[in-house]
Structure 1
Amino acid sequence: MKRLMTLTTALVLGAGLTQAQDFTPGADFMNQWDLDSNGGVSLAEVREQRANIFAMFDENSDGKLSATEIAGMDEHKQLQREAGMGPGRNRPEGMNGSMGKGKGMGRGGQMGHQGGLDRSAAEEMRGLDANRDGIITTAEFVNGSANWFRMRDRNGDNVLTTADFGPPRG
């Protein structure tokens, strides 16, 4: 819980700065996920960052997410919303907008339509449970990265950039 509170505090403090800047769809994502700062997010960077996210919520570091730890994900999302941050925060009212090519949550943790904004973490995690044992391991969470990546790579160029965000380009 300590890691969650530290991250949440940092996010809340940064909210004012983020809101004061011009909005570019995907800019926040790029700032957090482009680990080598080359202007694009690779599948390797997604895998590394998803491993970091798993570790942040795996409070007892046992390599498994308990029901309590998964509930912590929902608490985190709610705190982000309250701070005016997180996925969908700049979406105009009434705009559902699709993220990537798919919709819903499928096997391998594919969040599509609305980016899983209205789904609980437990619902999202079910799609990652490869062996259907009710336990999400680090490997299962990280192995969901390829599907997660494909869902967001709207132009299919195998790199995520700000061009993969925002309204569909015609």
Structure 2
Amino acid sequence: MTRIPPVLAALFLIGGPAFAQQGIPGVHFIEQWDLNGDGHVTPEEAREKRGDVFFMFDQSEDGNLQPGEWAMIADHLAAEEGNQGQGGGQGMGKGPGRFVKAAMEPPFNDLDGNGVVTKEEFVKATDTLFAQLDRNGDGVLTAEDFGRR
């Protein structure tokens, strides 16, 4: 399989301005993560998308995220946060964005605490992220779940 260049991986990671499009938080996130186009993101779609994200950042192709790969993720998140220019929790620092940001850091994903994050751990951690984002607890993510908190 061909690796996607890291610069393009960021688009997959959070879909450009993931938490606001024309002032509506979450719209772009839903567009990027709603794999079947039905207007909402299911846990299965979220797991598949995070599996894709893992694949894009696992540049060593060893099934683990290494320190340099985590650094690449952090760089992309920082660039994305800097490009957001959004207040009120719509960017990566507050509101739902804080959950997405935390979910892209080693501690969130190292489920067995051994200092190594495997693809299986990364994908499994999606369930925690999904629960954090599913504001109304209905089992799907919609733009409404990304409203101010």
Regarding TM over 0.5, the answer is yes
- In structure 1, what is the Cα distance between the partners aligned to 2:49 and 2:94? 24
Written as runs of structure 1 = structure 2, the 5 A alignment for 1:67-82 is: 67-82=67-82
State the 1:38 CA deviation: 0.1
Bigger Cα Rg = 1
**Whole-angstrom CA distance in 1 between matches of 2:100 and 2:36:** 27
Identity across the alignment (%):
32
Q: 2:117 maps to what in 1?
A: 136
Count of paired positions: 142
Question: What is the CA distance between 1:78 and its match in structure 2?
Answer: 2.0
Q: Which residue, 89, 94, 99 being the options, matches 1:115?
A: 99
Structure 1 unaligned blocks of 5 or more: 100-111
| 1:163 paired residue number | 144
* TM-score, scaled relative to structure 1: 0.70
TM-score after normalising by structure 2: 0.79
Supply the distance in 1 between the matched residues of 2:103 and 2:28 (Cα, whole angstroms). Answer: 22
Q: CA deviation at 1:60?
A: 1.4
CA distances 1:82-120 after superposition (whole Å, capped 9, x unpaired): 4x24xxx53248x97533xxxxxxxxxxxx8x3365x69
Distance in 1 between residues matched to 2:70 and 2:39, nearest whole Å:
31
Of the three residues 112, 126, 131, the one matched with 1:150 is 131
Alignment of 1:4-153 (within 5 A): 4-7=6-9, 22-82=22-82, 84-85=83-84, 89-92=85-88, 97-99=94-96, 114-115=98-99, 117=101, 124-153=105-134
Q: Does the CA-based 8 Å contact 2:39-2:142 persist in structure 1?
A: yes
- Output one character per residue of 1:19-78: Cα deviation in whole Å (capped at 9) or x when no partner: 9x6221101101110011100000000000000111111001111000010011111112
Superposed CA RMSD: 3.2
Against the structure 1 CA distance between its residues 120 and 137, is the aligned structure 2 distance closer, same or farther, given a 3 Å change threshold? closer
Cα pair 1:150 1:156 within 8 Å, conserved: yes
Alpha-carbon deviation of 1:15?
Answer: 6.5
In 1, Cα distance between equivalents of 2:71 and 2:130: 24
